[in-house]
Amino acid sequence: MAGSRSYDFESEWLIPAAPDAVWRAILGIGRSEQVWPGVTIGMPSVPVVGDDVPIDVRSGVGYRLRLVARLTAVEPARRLAAEASGDLAGRGEARLAAAGPNATLVVVDWSTTTERPWMNALGGPLGPLFRIAHERVMRAGERALVDAVRDRPADTPE
Q: Which domain holds residue 48?
A: 37-151
Is residue 3 in some structural domain?
Answer: no
3-class secondary-structure state, position 101: coil
Is residue 32 in some structural domain?
Answer: no
Over residues 107-129, the pLDDT tens digits come to 999 999 999 999 999 999 999 99
First to last CA, the chain: 46
Instruction: Determine which of 21-30, 100-109, 113-122 has the lowest per-residue pLDDT on average.
Output: 21-30
Q: Is residue 35 very low, low, confident or very high in pLDDT (cuts 50, 70, 90)?
A: confident
Is residue 17 in some structural domain?
Answer: no
Task: Tell if the pTM clears 0.85, that is, is over it.
Answer: yes
Is residue 95 in some structural domain?
Answer: yes
Total number of domains constituting the chain: 1
Is residue 15 in some structural domain?
Answer: no
SS3 annotation, 11-38: EEEEECCCHHHHHHHHHHHCCCCCCCCC
Q: Is the pLDDT of residue 1 over 60?
A: no
> CA 145, CA 148: separation in Å to the nearest integer?
5
Q: In the chain, pLDDT over 90 holds for what percent of residues?
A: 81
Q: Is the pLDDT of residue 5 over 60?
A: yes
Is residue 145 in some structural domain?
Answer: yes
Give the CATH number for residue 105.
3.30.530.20
